[in-house]
Chains A and B, each alone.
Chain A
């Protein structure tokens, strides 16, 4: 799948900023204010959301400010749609 560089989300408290670009396999670079306690859960939600959209190869940079799972899914989905041009909401 062809990927453009795309971003979704903000650096506000309670949000997560997701940047997606093309990559080999799923590489997730996570910076999080709650990394010690929730880093593995956040990475799992990102991975699960991308795979659910059929994306197996991408480089993801995530800067998290304590977002809940629903927010993470929404931001990852929005970034993926922008990166692939494939609308999943229709």
Chain B
């Protein structure tokens, strides 16, 4: 081959025309094992860049080294779905001048497509790539090191960024097909030792929660689904990865077999649980924006009916064809739910950012039935509260809240409340759940919020939904 796009990282950056103040982007498919963000930003710092806007699909504990690059002015703005660990803690304590902009996965896809979030240079990690830039999250040689499966969150960046650099640890022979990212969208390919720590991308085995409260919540959530009116042949479903959510799949499966009901598709972050149901013939297709574990990543590499979707195809509010519009049932978790059914999944009850919006508001709003599963209390922290610390998913999209002390149904959905009552489920007023929490733990003191805005929460339609203030110790 005469042509190759393979260059060093420094050369790729130079060719990209990146300048101070521009926007760089990353995906988070390598999750807690990601090495691309730190590697690239270290190089940008070394090359003397300043004032960059880092727009990642999400950030986690492993990105704590960004703190240094924020202090030295390399990064001055961040857009992301989530923040965790020491970086989140520092940002909550007013590390940055400019507030972090938080968007849902669908909201980020829409913002990139509309140009509201313009990306100058995308640095996209890939498990395999050929010399012209056909890239995939699937293994394509015996040298494959860091497997992530779906590259759904990277696809809007690949499509809309002015300049795309693929970073891979396995350069394979042309053509690397089937591809996720097309060579026609890629300007440079950089080969590095490792793009991600496989052991932290996913755990291999299915772990069933042994926590008795999780099991109780899961059983109740499954009963809600089965009696909701939406549990009919051809239904579709999305679940989160929390212990209760995963355990619920087990009970739904039993009922599907018993009643002879099959699902048309499962959506979202795909787990080993969903792969198992699909392989048993209980779920027709898997629509995968993010492979959550090794089993899911291996399935998407080999199974025609397990398909990748981009963040836009998954959950954009601006695109009527996005998959959430076809979704019947979603099971979601929450840090807090309030008496108006508003949900917070981003800011802890101590006022410190410790989570990610993910697809929460996207799926809650567009699905036919959204179910929040959370315990009434986590230790002394209440999960059903008078008012959420930060608004992430408006109550208008939330239908049912399942706790171990009862099930609350949004008054907008009286028909669902009736069906659950008829099935003998303990339907209760959400205000009674909040009062129950207060009776056990007392009334918490107000959090010591300061005056500085450290985060702005955008809704999935591009409007400001809430502001996060700094916390003072």
- Interface pick from B98-106, B193-201, B230-238, B376-384: B376-384
Instruction: Kindly state the separation between the CA atoms of A13 and B381 in the bound complex, as whole angstroms.
Output: 11
A34 beta carbon closer than 8 Å to chain B: yes
In the complex, the chain B residue whose C-beta lies closest to that of A34 is B380
Q: How many residues of B contact A (CB 8 A)?
A: 16
- A41 shortest CB reach to chain B, Å: 5
Q: Which residues on the A side are within 8 Å of B379 (C-beta)?
A: 13-14, 33-34, 65-67
Q: Which residues on the B side are within 8 Å of A33 (C-beta)?
A: 350, 379
Q: Which residues on the B side are within 8 Å of A39 (C-beta)?
A: 445
* Interface residues of chain B: helix, strand, loop or mixed (majority): loop
Instruction: Kindly state the separation between the CA atoms of A68 and B442 in the bound complex, as whole angstroms.
Output: 10
Of residues B377, B380, B444, which shows the largest number of chain A Cβ atoms within 10 Å of its Cβ?
Answer: B380
Contact B380 A67 (CB under 8 A): yes
B447 beta carbon closer than 8 Å to chain A: yes
A34-B350, A36-B448, A37-B447 known; A66 vs B381 contact (CB < 8 Å): yes
Contact B441 A68 (CB under 8 A): yes
On chain A, which size bracket covers the interface?
Answer: 10 to 19
Q: Report B248-266 CB contacts with A as 1/0, cut-off 8 Å.
A: 0000000000000000000
Q: Which residues on the B side are within 8 Å of A67 (C-beta)?
A: 379-380
Q: Report B441-473 CB contacts with A as 1/0, cut-off 8 Å.
A: 110110110000000000000000000000100
Contact B444 A37 (CB under 8 A): yes
Instruction: Kindly state the separation between the CA atoms of A66 and B380 in the bound complex, as whole angstroms.
Output: 5
Q: Which residues on the A side are within 8 Å of B241 (C-beta)?
A: none
Q: Which residues on the B side are within 8 Å of A36 (C-beta)?
A: 350-351, 445, 447-448, 471
Instruction: Kindly state the separation between the CA atoms of A39 and B471 in the bound complex, as whole angstroms.
Output: 16
Which residues from 1 to 59 on chain A have a C-beta closer than 8 Å to any C-beta of chain B? 13-14, 33-34, 36-41
Q: Report B337-355 CB contacts with A as 1/0, cut-off 8 Å.
A: 0000000000001110000
Instruction: Kindly state the separation between the CA atoms of A67 and B378 in the bound complex, as whole angstroms.
Output: 10
Q: Which residues on the A side are within 8 Å of B471 (C-beta)?
A: 36
State the B residues within 8 Å of A (CB).
Answer: 349-351, 377-381, 440-442, 444-445, 447-448, 471
